[in-house]
Structure 1
Amino acid sequence: MKKLLAVSLTIMILGTLGGCGKQDTQEPPKVKIDYGNSELYTQEDMDAAIQVIEAEFATWEGCELHSLAYGGDAACSDENIEWLNGLEMKEQTEPFTQCILFSSSFHSPVEQRDAWDADTEYEGWQWWLGRSDGGAWELVTCGYG
């Protein structure tokens, strides 16, 4: 009887300890990326711009990024490059020679924070980036266009 009790207690203890040390390994949802078709930029160029966007987005507490879509080669016009160069938000000293546009969808926090409406899906949020002669992308402005 004592052996049966000892074995039962051992099994219960081992079963209880089996769950210890496990951590929540749930990864954040993957962002859906639409690279579209471009004759101007490679996927590597776009991925570099996406990294800049994701780094900025990571500072938006409680927001969840769902998708990013390339805005197309037509958005990368001389007129838009000139527009980005004229924005006061620009920190780069050299003028941009290239620009890229992505649009996104994301969800705001359940509780109202900052300028976001609580628990809301935002779609069509634009991200404009510029760079000089194939250098590093700089986020110039974002929002609804």
Structure 2
Amino acid sequence: MKKHHTVSLTLLALVLSVGLFSLYRNIGGGQLAEDFQFVTEPSQTYTPQEISDAADAVVRSFKDFRGATMTTLRYVDGASSSEKDNWAERYDKDQGLYFTCDFVTDDTAEQSHLNANSNYQDWSWRVARSNGGHWTIVSSGQG
């Protein structure tokens, strides 16, 4: 009987945790669309793992975009930092990747820096690091 009670309490706690997470996810920050697409292109400079890790930094930062849903994230190799144009140096970094994304906002976005019920395309993200460290967002925005 005691084991059944413990299992029931554990299941109840699990259900409540999942429910609270879902509620937080829906009223919290930015999220990925169910049909989210991550589009990459081959790179002569960066490995697929480096590109993926930098993309994760973008997704983590996007969580601050209240009321926004990202539909597409694109890695743009031609605009990433390279020997020809090492823009990462402007941020005191030695490597930089460039991404763009598309997202939509709902009516709660008006409480942040975004326009409510809008469609944003080609929002830019510059992600950089030094000495193989963690990728961080050094700039983002439209235009």
Mark yes or no: TM-score above 0.5. Answer: yes
2:54 aligned residue: 49
Stretches of structure 2 that go unaligned for 5 or more consecutive residues are 1-14, 23-31
CA change 1:28–1:66 in 2 (3 A) is: closer
CA RMSD of aligned residues (A): 2.5
Stretches of structure 1 that go unaligned for 5 or more consecutive residues are 1-20, 88-94
**1:98 CA displacement:** 0.8
- Provide TM-score, normalisation by structure 1: 0.67
Q: Looking at secondary structure, tell me which structure has more helix per residue.
A: 2
2:90 aligned residue: 86
Between the two proteins, what is the percent identity of the paired residues?
22
**1:80 CA displacement:** 5.0
- Provide TM-score, normalisation by structure 2: 0.68
Asked if 1 retains the 8 angstrom alpha-carbon contact of 2:104 and 2:117, the reply is yes
Deviation above 4 Å: which 4+ runs of structure 1?
A: none
Deviations 1:83-141 (A, max 9, x none): x4435xxxxxxx31111000000111224232212111100000001111322111101
Q: Provide the rounded CA distance (Å) in 1 between the counterparts of 2:35 and 2:54.
A: 17
1:124 maps onto 2:98 in alignment:
no
Q: Looking at secondary structure, tell me which structure has more strand per residue.
A: 2
How many residues are matched?
115
CA change 1:125–1:28 in 2 (3 A) is: closer
1:38-117 mapped onto 2 (5 Å cutoff) = 38-78=43-83, 81-82=86-87, 84-87=88-91, 95-111=92-108, 112-117=110-115
Q: Provide the rounded CA distance (Å) in 2 between the counterparts of 1:47 and 1:120.
A: 27
Q: Provide the rounded CA distance (Å) in 1 between the counterparts of 2:135 and 2:42.
A: 19
